[in-house]
Amino acid sequence: MLFASFDFLLFFVPVLLAFWALRSHPRARVLLLIAASYFFYMASARPPEGALSPPWTFAGLLLISTVLDYVASREIHRRDAAAASPDAAIAAQARRGRNAWLLVSLLGNLGLLGYFKYANFFIQASLDIASAVAPGAVDGMSAPVIAAILPIGISFYTFQSLSYTIDVWRQRLTPEPSFRRFALFVVFFPQLVAGPIVRASEFLPQLHRKPTVSASAVEQGLFRVFKGLIKKVVLGDFIAVYFTDIVFDTPGDFTSLECLLALYAFTLQIYADFAGYSDIAIGVAKLMGFEIPENFDRPYQARDVGEFWRRWHMTLSTWLRDYLFFPLGGSRGSNGRTYFNLWLTMFLVGMWHGASWNFVIYSNLQGGAVLFNRWNRLRERSVARAIGLWALGLPLFALAIYGFGLSVLDLPVAKAGILAGGSALIFALIVLLPQAPRTRKEDRPGLAWVVPIHIFSTFHFSTLTRVFFRAEDLDRAKAMIAKLLDFEALGVREGLFRIQGAHDWLRARAEAGQLDAGAGWFQAALGLVEYGLLILMVLGIAYHFTPRRWVDEHLQRAFCRLPGPAIGLAYALLCLLLLHLLDGPRANIYFAF
């Protein structure tokens, strides 16, 4: 069941009405949401046709994680008093018990996640490495597939329930005594399958209060859903179906410029898809009186890659910061330890998104960029250091990229040289630039010109490295990169950005004599339709670089001031538009994670 579907409307409206009808009955209200959430999950987790695993199998995994963390947290908390005992033997035994139950939770949750999401890749990677180390030794062998179907949302609910157990172990949270409330925290349907990742400290207190709603909260919730639908379907799905997917399926059939534009299109698509889904989730929750955290903060306005990840999928980034980076020591240790902690955190951020060699490369590119940002910000800018950097550091960097191009990307020598030279040039430019202030409060007039350059370079690093994110496999990524490095003549083929349905309708009306084909307005409309997808891409990316308050404050205020019938009409027109854009709703990209 997808948010941008009529099925979800038929599901949500009765649930919403029943929820508010049970406003004064907390037990029944919680049970209603649990049942609705499991129904939503099983309706969303339909396996491929012919698969042996029915939807209730995935619901069973969800229930296992819920019971596991509920029991583990209670057992950990039960030993808290003994762990603080003045008797050393009693305290040691209690601490061992607490640690054992935490280990049970970690192994259970991460074991399921690893089995379903990463087992196939680990097996395939082992064969690939063995083949590289000992050519011919594994000829004829193929990797067995042991987890063909990835349970939908497993990465999201695993991290969510696991954080609860860890917080109880840290004694930062008292276990929830009611299994019903805890189960609802894990399975709350608006954010169950694609986030945001909600912490227990954020959500469980809301279940202990009687829900309230105001006219302004309803208006804000409707606005978030409206905005999310436009992002998800118009800027995400529509561009994907009619441009991005076509180019990435066969990159060799397109020019360098068309492949580059497809990368820009995917950059817009993935943001619109995921941020739009998060907007809908936040809006739906708000209509039921719940607040769940924001997940995006205009990430393409980031000034470096570290800031980008603090703005992109913020609930994942903060989760890994709080439950991995800080426990590893954060930046409190030596420089080497800090860089390792940063790299490991960023590597896992990237690998969370997928299990393939593509994501190994993507993860290391993101981690390397974050380490470079930190080094560049803190490095000593002396003459001796500068000589060493330009005489040794820059050639080594270029050589590493050259080797990567030859050995990993299988590029010809000339293209590997172009990749290495271009990367070294960009590296030198960023090193020579003054550092951009890390926050807008630190902006100084003398450095104002630097900020757009850093934003521009960060945006393009994000865009270009996403070739590994979007490509179906490493071979497809190699083909895409090779095509980008062809630098073919500028230009795109006729009709590539055409909105075909609207174009055919205009032509048919003109041929039937219902429209004047010679009129200026008709030619203008035909031109807009001819390049409609490109115009939509430009407007979508430009929207992202506008100040946040333009939409989240001014536009929202204008929307909320509309009378009820006008808001209803706006939704009706939006639904009509969505029906005509695509043959049917598309799953969220992050369902695969």
CA distance 27 to 447: 58
Q: How far is CA 115 from CA 123, 157, 192, 355, 482, in A?
A: 11, 15, 20, 11, 34
Query: How high is the pLDDT of residue 135?
Result: 65
116: amino acid identity, one letter? F
The answer to whether 296 touches 314, Cβ cutoff 8 Å, is yes
Q: For the chain, what percent of residues have pLDDT higher than 90? A: 34
Residue whose C-alpha is closest to residue 378's, from 340, 344, 331, 343? 331
Report for 121-130, 300-309, 544-553: range of highest mean pLDDT: 300-309
Q: Which of 313, 353, 454, 544 is catalytic?
A: 353
379/365 Cα distance (integer angstroms): 20
Structure-token match 């799905």, residue found: 237
The span from the CA of 343 to the CA of 305, in Å, is: 13
Query: 489: pLDDT confidence band, cut at 50, 70 and 90?
Result: low
497-546 pLDDT, tens digit each: 888 878 787 888 877 777 777 777 778 888 888 888 888 899 999 988 88
All residues at 6 or more sequence positions from 327 whose CB lies less than 8 Å from its CB, including other chains: none
Q: What is the pLDDT at residue 190?
A: 92
pLDDT on residue 49: 46
The residue among 553 and 179 whose pLDDT is bigger is 179
pTM of the predicted model, to two decimals?
A: 0.89
Calculate the CA 238 to chain-centre distance: 19
Query: What per-residue confidence (pLDDT) applies to 440?
Result: 58
Instruction: Categorise residue 495: left if φ over 0, alpha if ψ from -120 to 50, beta otherwise.
Output: left
Rounded Cα gap, residues 518 and 468, in angstroms: 47
Neighbours of 140 (CB within 10 A): 5
What pLDDT is stored for residue 50 in this prediction? Answer: 44
Sequence-distant (≥ 6) Cβ neighbours of residue 586 within 8 angstroms: 2, 236, 237, 240, 241
pLDDT band at 456; cut points 50, 70, 90: very high
**pLDDT, tens only, 48-87:** 444 445 556 778 888 999 999 999 999 999 988 888 888 8
| Nearest partner of 26 among 207, 157, 175, judged by Cα | 207
DSSP class per residue in 164-199: HHHHHHTTSSPPPS-HHHHHHHHH-GGGTTT-PPPP
Tokens 């490493």 sit on residue: 474
Both tokens assigned to 573:
């027109």
- What pLDDT, on a 0 to 100 scale, did the predictor assign at position 378? 82
- Spatial contact of 459 and 453, defined as CB atoms under 8 Å apart: no
Is the bond into 196 cis (omega within 30 degrees of 0)? yes
Residue 186 has a pLDDT of: 93
Q: Report the residue count for the chain.
A: 593
**Amino acid 48: pLDDT:** 45
- The pLDDT mean for the chain works out to 85
pLDDT digits (tens, 9 = 90+) for 235-288: 888 888 888 999 998 888 888 888 999 999 999 999 999 999 999 999 999 999
- In this predicted structure, the answer to whether residue 379 has a pLDDT above a threshold of 70 is yes
Find all residues with CB under 8 Å of 303, minimum gap 6, and list them. 436, 437, 438, 451, 454, 455, 458
Quote the radius of gyration of the chain (alpha carbons, Å). Answer: 26
Domains of the chain, by residue range, sit at 6-213, 324-484
Give first-to-last CA distance, the chain, whole Å. 17
| Pairwise CA distance, residues 455 & 499, whole Å | 31
Q: Which amino acid is at 450?
A: V
Which stretch, 209-223, 374-388, 428-442, has highest mean pLDDT?
209-223
Query: Is 519 in a helix, a strand, or coil?
Result: coil
DSSP state of 135: T
**Cα 30 to Cα 34: distance, rounded to the nearest angstrom:** 6
> Is residue 491's pLDDT more than 80?
no
pLDDT tens digit string along 133-176? 666 655 555 555 555 567 788 888 899 999 999 999 999 999 99
In the chain, % of residues over pLDDT 70: 91
Residue 460 is a catalytic residue: no
